[in-house]
């Protein structure tokens, strides 16, 4: 079975810190095998299908060949053995930033639609316009924070999203450090923003229809994975159901 595996820089597992054997010009990576019962997050070679890409974002994306009976559990596919086939070079800092922009633009548009439905067309237009202004992430942050009294509401979360896009923490106004200075990498920002944007989208759906959060969140995550799969020219994921 061919699947996908995100790894930290140098082909190192994010949680295991295991340095994976990488392919050479003449051969695929060496097989990595585990013994015992497969258990999610505890034992097994963990990978993902295209529908789960955004759940595992990290610095490098690899195509991986899995061997043996595969267990599907909580957003992952787990096998007793796997080997790296090739690195997908299309997933890089530029792609991670494009993913962030895609998520943020879509979420700002949804937040603006919510404001418009509440009869606040002027506020909605201002929020949308803020994405095209210089220093857009800070403009969205300042504006969204002023548009909603409920600081736990989705428009206020859009403000936090804008700070996160810039690599900062929502409660701080100072510029965030670069990745070289210890700040988050583009891949880390992508992982964080994808989750936050899906949460905001689901919150907005919950406002419209009680109980809609879970389905909306899952649908948005698959939509994000679909965008990324298309960007990387991978087979698109199936529907969330």
Res 237: pLDDT = 77
Res 139: pLDDT = 63
Tell me how many degrees the CA angle 19-3-228 measures, rounded to the nearest 5.
100
pTM, two decimals, is 0.84
Q: Reduced to 3 states, what is the DSSP secondary structure of residue 22?
A: coil
Cα-Cα-Cα-Cα dihedral sign, residues 241, 47, 42, 80: positive
Q: Which of 126, 86, 82, 130 is nearest to 104 (CA)?
A: 130
Give, for 192, the enclosing helix (H) or strand (E): helix 186-208
| pLDDT tens digits along 154-164 | 666 666 666 66
Tell me how many degrees the CA angle 183-140-131 measures, rounded to the nearest 5.
100
Per-residue tokens: 211: 């109980």
- DSSP 8-state symbol, 181: G
Range of lowest pLDDT (74-83, 89-98, 137-146, 214-223): 137-146
Task: Place 87 in a pLDDT band, splitting at 50, 70 and 90.
Answer: very high
Q: Is pLDDT larger for residue 2 or for residue 155?
A: 2
- DSSP 8-state symbol, 21: P
> For residue 150, with 0-12 CB atoms within 10 Å meaning exposed, 13-18 middle and 19 or more buried, which class applies?
exposed
- Which of 45-49, 114-118, 136-140 ranks highest by mean pLDDT? 45-49
Give, for 63, the enclosing helix (H) or strand (E): strand 60-67
In sequence order, the 6+-apart residues with CB closer than 8 A to the CB of 116 are 124
| pLDDT tens digits along 10-30 | 999 998 999 999 999 999 999
Question: 28 and 80 in contact (C-beta within 8 Å)?
Answer: no
For residue 118, report the phi and psi dihedrals to the nearest 5 degrees: -85, 5
Per-residue tokens: 177: 């450090």
The β-bridge relationship of strands 81-87 and 45-47 is unpaired
């Amino acid at each position: 079975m061919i699947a996908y595996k995100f790894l930290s820089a140098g082909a190192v597992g994010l949680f295991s810190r295991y340095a994976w054997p990488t392919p050479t010009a003449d051969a695929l990576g060496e097989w990595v095998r585990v013994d015992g019962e497969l258990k999610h997050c505890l034992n097994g070679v963990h990978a993902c299908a295209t529908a789960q890409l955004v759940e595992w974002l990290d610095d490098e994306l690899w195509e991986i060949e899995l061997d043996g009976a595969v267990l599907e559990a909580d957003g992952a596919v787990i096998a007793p053995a796997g080997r790296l086939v090739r690195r997908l070079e299309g997933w890089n800092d530029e792609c991670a930033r494009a993913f962030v922009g895609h998520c943020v633009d879509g979420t700002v548009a949804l937040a603006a639609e919510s404001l418009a439905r509440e009869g606040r067309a002027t506020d909605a237009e201002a929020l949308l316009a803020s994405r095209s202004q210089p220093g857009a992430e800070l403009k969205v942050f300042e504006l969204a924070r002023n548009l909603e009294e409920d600081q736990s509401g989705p428009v206020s979360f859009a403000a936090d999203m804008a700070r996160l896009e810039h690599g900062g923490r929502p409660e701080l106004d100072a510029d965030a450090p670069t990745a070289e200075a210890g700040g988050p990498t583009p891949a880390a920002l992508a992982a964080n923003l994808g989750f936050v944007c899906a949460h905001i989208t689901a919150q907005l759906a919950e406002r419209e229809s009680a109980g809609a959060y879970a389905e909306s969140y899952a649908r948005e995550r698959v939509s994000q994975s679909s965008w990324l799969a298309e960007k990387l020219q991978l087979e698109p994921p199936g529907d969330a159901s």
